[in-house]
A and B are shown apart, each in its own frame.
Chain A
Amino acid sequence: MPQLTCIDPNDQAIDVTFEPGETVLQATYRAGVDGILAECGGGCSCATCHVILNADWDGTLDAPSVQEADMLSFAIDPTPHSRLACQVQLNDKHDGLTLTVAKRQY
C-alpha cells in the first residue's frame, strides 16, 4: 500500500499507509497521529487538522478551495504549503508524501 510520512508535533516521524481515494485526515487519524484534532470530523468547518506539506508535493495536488483557504487563514502560523488534512485527497501518485502536523491547532 502507498504510504506517507508525518512529522508529529513532538518531531517524531511516523509512516502511515493509505488507500487511494482517502483524505490525508482519514489516513493520519486512523493511525492516531498526534496533533490532528479534526473537531468537525472532516467537514472543513473548524481548521483543527492543519498540516504543512513538503514543498516538493505542491504540483501534485489541487489548490485549496476558497472555503479551505479562508479557514486556513485562521490557523496558527499558516504557511504557503499549509492545508487542511480533511481536504487533501490522496491517490497513487502521493506515495512518499511528507507532511508536518502543525505544532498547535488553536
Chain B
Amino acid sequence: MKIGIVGAGQAACTLIAELIRGQFDGEIIVFNGESHSPYQRPPLSKSWLADPTETESLRLLPEPIERHHSIQWIQSQVKAIEPDHGVIVTNNVSYTVDHIVLATGTRAKKLSIDGLSSEKTHVIRTLDDVMSLTSALDGVANIAILGAGFLAFELASSLKHPTRTIRVLAKGIRALPQISVKAADRLLDATPASIRVGVTVERYDEDNAALITNHGPIPADLVIMAIGAEPNIELAHACGLAANEGIPTDAYMQTPHPRVSAIGEVSLHEQPHLNQRIRIESISEANDTASTLAKRLLGQPEPFHATPWFWSDQGDLKLQIAGLSARTDEETVLINSETECVVIRHQGDRVTAIEAVNAAKEFMAARRLFEQGTISLENLLNAGSVFSLLQSSRS
C-alpha cells in the first residue's frame, strides 16, 4: 500500500511516526510545501521566539523515523489531487498512491491595512514567519499586535524588552475571550503588553509610523497580525470534499471519498462523545486525529475518542485547559489562591472545560475525569477540587 500525505506538520508527522512504529509495510510519500524539515510550531511564539537558537532544537521527527527507508520526502507544493485515480500533482510531477491523506493545516489570517507595507506586516505561523520577525526587530521601539487571543499574549511575553513598547489591540470588548474572565485576568495581570479593546484600524500612517484607529494614532514600527487562522481547504474544495469550515470526516478521519482522509487542524471530524463535528486548532487534536488514522491504516480501526486539551505559556504563567467550552458557557471559580487559579466552565450542571493557571495537578486530574465521562458541576463543587473528585471517583 502506498500512502501520500499532503503536509508535513504535527498531524502528518504523528501519522508517519505511528505508522513506522506500527510496522507499516507499505510506502509513504510526504509532500512538504515548506523549505524546512518538519519542525514543532508551539515553541515558535513561546520559548524559541524569546531565545531563538539553532533550528535543530525544533526537530519534530526522530532521525531514524525521518530517514526511514519506507518514506520518500518531496519538497514541493501540491497543486491538485485526483481522488478517483489516487493522483497527487506537484509543479511538474504526478504521483499515484492508494490513499491520500490531507494534512494541509491552517494559515494565518491577514488583514489588509491601507498604507501598511508588507515589510512591516508580520504573522506567526511558520518558522520563516518567525525568522522574518526576528530579523526585523532591530531598533524597533513600538510593536502593535492585532488580535487578543493566546498567540497575541504569548508573543507579547516572548518579545518583552526594556526598549520596546508592546500594544495588544483587540477588536472585541475583551482580551482572551476564549477563556473565563477570571483566568484571563490572571494572565493579563502579568502581561508586559498594554491592551486596548474595541479598536478598529483605519489605516497606517507611514510618516509617523502609527496605526490610525478609532482610538487615535497608535505608534507601531511593525504590526503583527494574530487574528486567527483559516483552514487550507483549496485542494479538497477543488474535488468537492471541503466545507467552508474544514474537511468533513467521520470519526475514523475518512472523507466521503474512500481514497481520501483528512487529519489535523484542517479536519472537521466527528467527535462521538461531544456528539458533533468539530475542527480544533491544537496539538492534541493534531496528534489524536493522526493516531486515529494510523490505527485504521494499520488495520486496527478505533473511532476518535480523545478529549481536547490546550496550553499556553506566558512568561512564568502556564494556562492549561482540559475539555472544550463555548464562549457563552458559564464560569464558576473553583480555586483562586495567590499561586493558582482554577475555573470551571459549564452549561448548567455539565462541566465543559476546566481552565487551570499554574495548577498542573488540577489540569491533569481534569483530563482523567473527562476521559471517564461527563463531569457534574455539583459533584465537583462538593469535592472542592478536581483532584479530590478524581480520587473519590477511584475509591
Q: Do A and B come from one complex?
A: yes
Residues of A within 8 A of B (CB): 22, 26, 29-34, 39-47, 66-67, 70-71, 73-74
Contact with A along B55-66 (1 / 0, CB 8 A): 011011011110
**8 residue pairs from A and B, CB less than 8 Å apart:** A32-B64, A43-B46, A43-B47, A43-B311, A45-B311, A70-B360, A73-B361, A74-B368
Cβ contact of B62, chosen from A32, A39, A73, cutoff 8 A: A32
- Complex Cα distance, B56 from A41, in Å, reads 13
Given contacts A30-B63, A34-B21, A43-B311, contact A70 B364 (CB under 8 A): yes
Closest to A48 in B: B287
Overall SS of chain B's interface:
helix
Closest to A37 in B: B287
Nearest chain A CB to B53's CB is how many angstroms away?
9
Closest to A19 in B: B56
> In the complex, are the beta carbons of B283 and A39 less than 8 A apart?
yes
Given contacts A41-B42, A43-B43, A73-B361, contact A31 B283 (CB under 8 A): no
B94 contacts the other chain (CB 8 A):
no
B90 contacts the other chain (CB 8 A):
no
Cβ contact of B320, chosen from A26, A45, A73, cutoff 8 A: A45
- Complex Cα distance, B61 from A32, in Å, reads 8
Measured between beta carbons, the chain B residues less than 8 angstroms from A31 are 62-64
Ranked 5 nearest A-B pairs via Cβ: A32-B62, A74-B364, A70-B360, A32-B64, A45-B311
Overall SS of chain A's interface:
loop
> In the complex, are the beta carbons of A74 and B365 less than 8 A apart?
yes
Cβ contact of A32, chosen from B65, B284, B287, cutoff 8 A: B65
Among B59, B64, B287, B364, find the residue whose CB has the most chain A CB atoms closer than 10 A: B364
Given contacts A43-B43, A43-B313, contact A71 B360 (CB under 8 A): yes
Measured between beta carbons, the chain B residues less than 8 angstroms from A74 are 361, 364-365, 368
> In the complex, are the beta carbons of A40 and B42 less than 8 A apart?
yes
Cβ contact of A40, chosen from B59, B63, B283, B364, cutoff 8 A: B283
Nearest chain B CB to A12's CB is how many angstroms away?
13
B358 contacts the other chain (CB 8 A):
yes
> In the complex, are the beta carbons of B63 and A67 less than 8 A apart?
no
> In the complex, are the beta carbons of A70 and B320 less than 8 A apart?
no
Nearest chain A CB to B220's CB is how many angstroms away?
30
> In the complex, are the beta carbons of B318 and A45 less than 8 A apart?
yes
B40 contacts the other chain (CB 8 A):
yes
Given contacts A47-B364, A71-B364, A74-B364, contact A39 B59 (CB under 8 A): no
Measured between beta carbons, the chain A residues less than 8 angstroms from B364 are 47, 70-71, 73-74
Cβ contact of B42, chosen from A33, A43, A71, cutoff 8 A: A43
